[in-house]
Amino acid sequence: MTESMAIALGIFVLAVLSGMIGFGVALAAIPFLSLFLPDLVHQVQPLGIMLGGVTALFAAAGFHRSGLVDWRVGGGLAALAGLASPLGVLLAQRVDPTVIWSAYFGSAGYMLWRLMVVRPLPRAPARQRFWLAALVVPMAAFSTFVGAGVGFLLVPTLIAFGFEPKRAAGTNAVVVVAQSASALAFHLPRAQLDGALTAWLVVAGAFGAYSGARLTSLRLSNQQFKYVFVGLMSALLLYRLYRLLV
C-alpha cells in the first residue's frame, strides 16, 4: 500500500466518524495529516479545511435525506460563519504554529468534554436565534484559526439550545460547508497541495462522510455515536501530543 492510499484510508475512517455527528473531517484530520505533512499552515490546514468542506457537504446530504437539517437556522448561521472565517485564516498565517497547536488541543479537549456532559436548555426560538447568531461569529473565526470546522463548538451549542443531537449534527454540516469554502479561498494563494494526494483524499472523505451520516440517521442512537467519536478523537489527540513532545 502506498503512502497516499494509507492516508486516504485513514481519512475515510475519520470521515465516516466525523460524518456521523455532522462535523467536517477537519478537526480529526489535522493531527492525522500532520503525521505525514510537515507544514501546519501551508499544507495541513488548507488540506484539512478543504476536506472539512467536502465531507460536511456530503454529510449534510445524508442528514437531509433523513429530514434532519433545520435549513432556516442553518442557512443564517452559514452566512455568518462564511463571513467570519477569513479572520481566523489571516490570524493563523501570522502566528507561531506552537500557539495554534496549543489552541487546537485546548479547544478539542473542550469539545470532547462538552459532547459528553452537555444538557439541553428549554427552547425559546426568538432568543435562541439571536444568541446563536451572536456566538457563531467568534466560533467560526476561532475554529478556522486552528484549521477546523465550526462543528466542534457549534454542535454542543445547538444541543444546549434544545436541538435533538441528530438535527444539531445535520444543521451544523450546512454551516461547515459555507465556513470551509470561505476559509479555503483565503488559504489557497499560499497553500502547498499535492494534486494527486488531494484527489485521493477528497474522494475518500466524501464517500466516508455520506456513509457516516446515513449510518447515524438509520442505525445509531445519539449516545452511541457520541462515544465512538469521543474515543477516536481522544486517541488521536493523545498520539499527536506525544509526537509533539518527544
pLDDT-derived band at 236 (thresholds 50, 70, 90) equals low
128 vs 135, more confident: 135
pLDDT for 92-134, tens place per residue? 888 887 888 788 788 778 777 777 776 655 555 566 778 888 8
pLDDT at 91: 86
Q: Give how far Cα 91 sits from Cα of 86, 102, 104, 112, Å.
A: 9, 14, 14, 25
- Asked if residue 43 has pLDDT above 60, the reply is yes
Taking the CA atoms of 148, 152, 155 and 161 in sequence, report the sign of the dihedral they define.
negative
Cα end-to-end distance, the chain, whole Å = 27
125 vs 179, more confident: 179
pLDDT at 155: 82
Percentage of the chain surpassing pLDDT 70? 90
What mean pLDDT comes out for the span 138-162?
A: 83
pLDDT at 122: 55
Among the residue ranges 31-45, 54-68, 185-199, 208-222, the one predicted with the least confidence is: 208-222
What mean pLDDT comes out for the span 13-30?
A: 80
pLDDT-derived band at 165 (thresholds 50, 70, 90) equals confident
pLDDT at 145: 84
- Asked if residue 194 has pLDDT above 60, the reply is yes
Predicted TM-score (pTM) of the model is 0.79
Whole-number Å distance between alpha carbons of 47 and 50? 5
Q: Is residue 146 within 8 Å of 24, Cβ to Cβ?
A: no
pLDDT at 161: 83
Give φ, ψ of 162 to 5 degrees.
Answer: 105, 5
pLDDT-derived band at 78 (thresholds 50, 70, 90) equals very high
- Asked if residue 84 has pLDDT above 70, the reply is yes
In angstroms and rounded to an integer, the radius of gyration of the C-alpha atoms of the chain is 16
- Asked if residue 79 has pLDDT above 80, the reply is yes
pLDDT at 120: 57
Whole-number Å distance between alpha carbons of 169 and 163? 9
- Asked if residue 26 has pLDDT above 70, the reply is yes
